[in-house]
Amino acid sequence: MTEKNHSDFDQSAYERPSNKYICGRAAEWGVPCRAGPNFDGTCGCVAECEPFFVNGRWECRRPQVDGGPCKNGPSPEGICGCTQSPCVPRRTMRWYRGRLSIIAAGIIVALLAAFTHLSNEKNIFSDGFRIGALDAGELTDGHTGFFETLECKTCHTAHESKLTTWLMAVITDSDVAITKACVNCHLFEGEATSPHNAVFPADKNIIKTECTICHNEHKGVSADISSLSDEQCASCHEKKFTNFSTGHSDFSEEFPYFRRTAINFDHTTHLTKYFQDERMKKDKRKPEDAPAECITCHQNESEERNIKPLGYEKICATCHTNQILKRKLVFLRLPEFNEPDIDREVAIELCGPNEDAEDENAEDYESVSVDEMSVITSYLMGLTPDDPEKYSKAFQNLMLGMMEDGISPLIEMLEENGVRLNANQLLTGLNPEAAKRMACAWAMNLEYELPASPAFGGWYGDLLEFIYQPNGHADIVIKRWLDFAVIAGGDNEEMIERAEVMREYLLSKKDGPGACVKCHAITRDKKEGKLRIEWQYHQNENSSYQSFSHQRHLRLVDPQGVKLSDPNQGCAKCHKLNADAAYDSSFEDYNPMTYSSNFISIEKKTCSQCHAKGRIREDCQLCHNYHKGFDFTDRVTRNKN
Amino acid sequence: MNSIRMYHILIWLIAGIIFGLLAIKDQSIHARLGNPSELTGYCLLVTIVFLAFFNIRKRLSMLPMIGKASTWFMLHTVGGFFVLAVYWLHTKTIWPTGMYEKSLAILFYLTVTSGIIGYLIQQIYPKLLTQTGVEVIFERIPLRISKLRQKAEETMLKCCNKSGVETLGKHYLDTLQWFFAEPRFTFQHLIGSQRSQQWIQHQDNAVRRYLNIDEQKYLNELSQLAYQKNIIDIHYTLQGAMKCWLLIHIPLTSALMLLSFWHFLVVNVYAL
């Protein structure tokens, strides 16, 4: 049954499967025309042959496969004598395939055109629909707002630009442009494109980083776009290891107490001395008043790395408030004069007569004060405090000014001496009348008698001193004076020396006003930098690449029935007191990094007891953050507000 | 094991090795905080273009230096599976999230699925065709059917004329005329069913008891012609299927190529 000689020219027809048409008769399962359809789709077999004119006559040229020359032969006009009615050729499957391919491509082009160009307000296509042609996936939850504002342009600068610009973006580096867009909203402590936002030594071969190296968007609303594998971390780090428990280097000797705390709170002395029964009895307190465990003073709820203390009022005020109230600031002190320079009549004119005043004509003048000037006045007036010859006239002029204008001369004195802070803040609450009365008394060579004791602190004159008494913790006037003290300086050696003396007085732990620096650390952040007082509790930011959740760890303790105060299983499991540490002395040199903590440093084995292979996670990102000082720019926070 | 089989195994092995190296490189780039999608993407694009060239190669069969069609088909098949694996390596997901990326994924999966179906057709149907013991050129099937129909009608007429009885003629008009008119039992042939043969046998049995010995000889001839027609039908159905799947595969490829180019453009403008 297999066709023999099916390719011989005289045995079979010549098939043309690539033609666009097939014979209409074959399509209806009849005998197909021999020649098949023409290229234009018409029937090619109306005549069975095309007669050939030779030797003056027409010859039939019907092929052998169709029976050879016919009996009728061609007509004298050369027309085939065997004709038939034409068929209607049909399209081939190949033609349909080609046409479908063109249609499919056309549909894609049309859809892309519709998606990218047909959108405007008058069109049915919404913006969201239009973006569909470019939509590489949903943005994470925090970035979904972009779509409502600048759409793709928020990150992709080429979006909605001219066609030429758009196409030129093919050869530009999009990562750089996207990073620029990122830092429009995201803020870091260091350079955004520097690894870890840090500054590295020049000899280090550090590559520039772009945000897109680690963060890839368009992966869905809940996609995690900040996770890195340990291998990825290790790709940059010189020391490569596969897991924390066996590969990570040992923690440093200071870990995690690298930087001195803002508050000078000696845990050892408090726990072993002050909170012991004897000490509590001395302060007329019950032993039960002493903190029972760490979380009595440290809040442990919702805390991550830093267990923040509960604050002065809750944990310190009971014992320390009285100490604050006792420490007064002596602003002015009437010094000893050799002779009065203020004319008595002028004094009486400004202040009125004073019955207690000595007779103006008395032969021997004897100053009511035998003291020196206060160190503050000495610095502010630029005078030697113990040499009446030098300070007498200037100080009495100050007194005269106070008699005339109350506190105005004091403000001028502060401002003339380069007080950078607002002078009014240093004298907040000072009553000009009180200043005038005190100056009047001193002008008459009398001690100023306070009409009534101050009940709540504040400015008042008392005998030979003009005093400020703090009214409690965080007294704003005392804080301003101490801030003034740390920045006070001078143009010459004398002034610098006087500033130092004033600083010693104001910042004295033992006698300083307000007793502030007894607890608040004085810090110089840089070697040649200025001093500052750490008024606020600060997070442990020095090792900002590390993260730690106290909350998660503390949760593990309580459910097991172990109290946090348990010396072996509670907080002390990690934080062990170091009774030998020179804690207090580490506050003396103002350098926050020369720190001797009350606690023994934590070793790696403390963590690797649990964070080990087959136990609890030990990947890099569990404990380390990549970015330093991560925050948002005003652009974001403004919107939030 | 013959050399062709060895050759096929070698190609599969090479494809597997290339994919393995690509996967290792992808992981290495990822670990070094690079963008492995760039490498796998270009690899994917080049492979898809190469696969699409198979269709062009068919049109250039007159050129002697471009290799055998069977070799190209083998490379096309291996390349098809390779491209599926590289696609997953590229996207790191089975189903992407973006609208046009979903469209691209749909087109890709449809193209690959139609390709796999085509591959199965190309693997199974030629064997079934060989089992028929007959070779028929697809374009000549109408002529073959027409000739068989002509012979069947002549046989039926001869029988009627000689016997003077219309039994076989009536039977032909009622049943076999329908069968010889055009290819029948298409679906049954597609699934390899023997239903058509049973039908012919049934028609034979149904009328044989009413025929005398002379008429039965003509019936035998008719049945033989019907069986031959059945084989032609099998060829028509199976060869047709081997061509028809391209009606889906090639248009899908065309759309996929175009959307892939758009993807290439968009990615380079927006992300690279």
Residues B155 and B211 in one domain: yes
Q: Which of A226-235, A363-372, A567-576, B138-147 has the highest mean pLDDT?
A: B138-147
Strand partners, A532: A523
Residues B61 and B110 in one domain: yes
**pLDDT band for position A208 (cuts 50, 70, 90):** confident
More confident residue, A555 or A581: A581
Measured between CB atoms, which of B134, B140, B244 is closest to A1?
B134
pLDDT of residue A560: 65
Residue A563 has pLDDT above 80, yes or no: no
Report the 3 state secondary structure along B13-38.
Answer: HHHHHHHHHHHHHHHHHHHCCCCHHH
pLDDT of residue B1: 62
Tokens of B238: 């199976």
What's the rounded mean pLDDT across residues A565-585? 83
pLDDT of residue A555: 75
A619-633 per-position pLDDT tens digit: 888 888 888 878 888
Residues B124 and B212 in one domain: no
**pLDDT band for position A641 (cuts 50, 70, 90):** very low
Tokens of A272: 């072993």
Whether B254 sits inside 8 A of A236 (CB atoms) is no
pLDDT of residue A540: 67
Number of domains in chain B: 2
Among B35, B37, B143, which would you mutate to test the A interface (most chain A Cβ atoms within 10 Å of its Cβ)? B143
B62-100 per-position pLDDT tens digit: 777 778 888 888 999 999 999 999 999 999 989 988 888
Residues B146 and B209 in one domain: yes
Measured between CB atoms, which of A105, A152, A170 is closest to B268?
A170
Residues B168 and B260 in one domain: no
Say whether the peptide bond before residue B183 is cis (omega within 30 degrees of 0).
no
Measured between CB atoms, which of B31, B137, B183 is closest to A232?
B31
Residue A125 has pLDDT above 60, yes or no: no
Nearest-Cα residue of chain B relative to residue A222:
B97
Whether B250 sits inside 8 A of A97 (CB atoms) is yes
pLDDT of residue B4: 83
Distance CA A612, CA B77 (A): 47
Contact list, B101 vs chain A (CB under 8 Å) = 135-137
Distance CA A501, CA A380 (A): 12
Q: Is residue A27 a contact partner of residue A56, using CB atoms and an 8 Å limit?
A: no
Tokens of B114: 């139609």
pLDDT of residue B169: 93
Q: State the DSSP code for A152.
A: G
Residues in chain A: 641
Distance CA B176, CA B162 (A): 20
Residue B218 has pLDDT above 60, yes or no: yes
ipTM value: 0.91
Burial class from Cβ neighbours inside 10 Å (0-12, 13-18, 19+) for residue B159 reads: buried
pTM score, whole prediction = 0.72
User: Which residues of A514-625 form beta strands (DSSP E)?
Assistant: 522-524, 531-533
Whether A93 sits inside 8 A of B244 (CB atoms) is yes
Distance CA A485, CA A479 (A): 10
Q: Is A95 on the interface with B (CB under 8 A)?
A: no
What's the rounded mean pLDDT across residues A12-16? 75
Q: Is residue A459 a contact partner of residue A424, using CB atoms and an 8 Å limit?
A: no
Q: Is B69 on the interface with A (CB under 8 A)?
A: no
Nearest-Cα residue of chain B relative to residue A1:
B134
Residues B107 and B61 in one domain: yes
Q: Is residue A152 a contact partner of residue A169, using CB atoms and an 8 Å limit?
A: no
Residues B33 and B81 in one domain: yes
What's the rounded mean pLDDT across residues B156-169? 92
Task: List, as one string, the DSSP characters of chain B.
Answer: --HHHHHHHHHHHHHHHHHHHHHHHHHHHHHTT--HHHHHHHHHHHHHHHHHHHHHHHHTTT-GGG--HHHHHHHHHHHHHHHHHHHHHHHSSSS--SHHHHHHHHHHHHHHHHHHHHHHHHHHHHHHHHHTT----GGGHHHHHHHHHHHHHHHHHHHHHHH---HHHHHIIIIIHHHHHS---HHHHHTT--HHHHHHHHHHHHHHTTS-HHHHHHHHHHHHHHHHHHHHHHHHHHHHHHHHHHHHHHHHHHHHHHHHHHHHHHHHHHT-
Residues B31 and B153 in one domain: no
Q: Enumerate residues 6+ apart whose C-beta is below 8 A from A86.
A: A42, A43, A45, A46
A66-118 per-position pLDDT tens digit: 788 888 889 888 888 888 889 999 999 999 999 999 999 999 999 888 877 76
Q: Give the residue from A257, A333, A322 showing the smallest Cα distance to A473.
A: A322
Residues B143 and B19 in one domain: no
Residues B119 and B153 in one domain: no
Q: Give the residue from A338, A387, A333, A399 showing the smallest Cα distance to A366.
A: A338
| Structural domain span for residue B206 | 138-239
Measured between CB atoms, which of A6, A31, A213 is closest to B137?
A6
A473-516 per-position pLDDT tens digit: 988 889 988 988 888 888 888 888 888 888 889 988 888 888 88
Whether B270 sits inside 8 A of A134 (CB atoms) is yes
Nearest-Cα residue of chain A relative to residue B138:
A17
Residues B124 and B231 in one domain: no
Contact list, B259 vs chain A (CB under 8 Å) = 108
Whether A105 sits inside 8 A of B134 (CB atoms) is no
Strand partners, A263: A520
**pLDDT band for position A120 (cuts 50, 70, 90):** low
Q: Which helix (H) or strand (E) holds A166?
A: helix A163-168
Whether B97 sits inside 8 A of A219 (CB atoms) is yes
Residues B163 and B114 in one domain: no
Burial class from Cβ neighbours inside 10 Å (0-12, 13-18, 19+) for residue A31 reads: middle
B29-59 per-position pLDDT tens digit: 998 888 899 999 999 999 999 999 888 887 7
pLDDT of residue A464: 85
**C-alpha to C-alpha distances, B199 to A59, A373, B154, B192, nearest whole angstrom:** 50, 131, 22, 15
A301-328 per-position pLDDT tens digit: 656 777 888 888 888 888 888 888 888 9
Whether A170 sits inside 8 A of B269 (CB atoms) is yes
Distance CA B268, CA B272 (A): 5
